[in-house]
Amino acid sequence: MAERVLRTGLATLLLACGALAVAGQQAPALVTAATRADPQALAALERPGRVVFEDGFETDASFDNYFEVRGRKEGLVVRDVLAGRAHRGGGALRVTAAARGGRESGAGATGWLGAEGYDRLHLRLCIRYAEDYDQGNLNHTGGSLAAVAGGNRWAGMGSAGQRPRGDDRFNSRFEPWCDWRRLPPPGYLFLYTYWMEMARDRDGHYWGNMLGPEEAERFVPQRGRWVCLEHMIKANDVGQANGELAAWIDGRLYVHYTNIRWRSAADVRLKRFDLGVYIHACAQDNTVWFDDVALGTGYIGPPPAEAPPR
């Protein structure tokens, strides 16, 4: 099948039979349909693990879970306790990218899981976009997982546009894109991903590659309503292309990629996560709420309908 090259402004995508084709390099394989159709494969992918982090934003102590909270002093990141704002319980994290006359704007919180890190990690969160959320064309809004080498929690930050070497970092954020306004905001969900064999953009930079579902399965979240998102990264064994990337929406498998060579050094492990809003050209205040955040070594799934006792 001939390749279809799509210029996005975020990345140059080379899509062939559902895979990202990069000449001379490993190509992540989109296997969602096959995984769904195989009960054993789906059960293996959704095998529970150990929960290593939880935050329901029930007290201000939640802020101690994050080594960086961008915008808290300005009131852009707050624990929202107004009635009806939380997904469960009495609090949620409200994050706003403030209007800046069309300039870039962002806010969020970043957590560190320790220098040892994990070879497989799931991030589950509930997110609600404000009824008037409208990012224009480009944004990075949602939750991300990042792997780095060593024990520096700031490592790899500020590396947008640069391809990881393999011995330094990789990451993926589960976020929306409105396809140059062809879709209503916030757009359809995909995985904005950096790794050592990613495709280069036509401008010579390495902007995050968009690893998403088949076009017919693209999901656009409804503004003003909570949706449960979970995504997983499984690091490859060094020298092999056996890494994986998967995502779920409200407990249903949405995307599953295999055949990924994330890293070339075993010390590059999943150690950092982020909850945030970043708008490239912010013409209005853009707010989202996060709640019921959890990280684990296996599948987590949507939270129970009822909040635990406070």
pLDDT digits (tens, 9 = 90+) for 107-165: 999 999 999 999 999 999 999 999 999 999 999 999 999 999 999 999 999 999 999 99
Distance (Å, whole) CA 13 – CA 193: 12
Task: Considering only the C-alpha atoms of the chain, give the largest distance between any 2 of them, rounded to a whole number of Å.
Answer: 56
Q: How confident is the model at residue 307 (pLDDT cuts 50, 70, 90)?
A: low
Written as six digits, the tokens of 144 are: 């991300």
For residue 16, the SS3 value is strand
pLDDT digits (tens, 9 = 90+) for 185-233: 999 999 999 999 999 998 999 999 999 999 999 999 999 999 999 999 9
pLDDT higher than threshold 60 for residue 310? no
Q: Is the dihedral of CA 190, 271, 205, 287 positive or negative?
A: positive
List, in sequence order, the alpha helices (H) in the chain.
32-37, 39-45
pLDDT higher than threshold 80 for residue 259? yes
pLDDT higher than threshold 70 for residue 21? no
Distance (Å, whole) CA 127 – CA 202: 33
Distance (Å, whole) CA 133 – CA 186: 7
CATH class of 30-296: mainly beta
pTM summary value: 0.92
Degrees, nearest 5: CA angle 304-309-310: 125
pLDDT digits (tens, 9 = 90+) for 99-123: 999 999 999 999 999 999 999 999 9
Q: How confident is the model at residue 8 (pLDDT cuts 50, 70, 90)?
A: very low
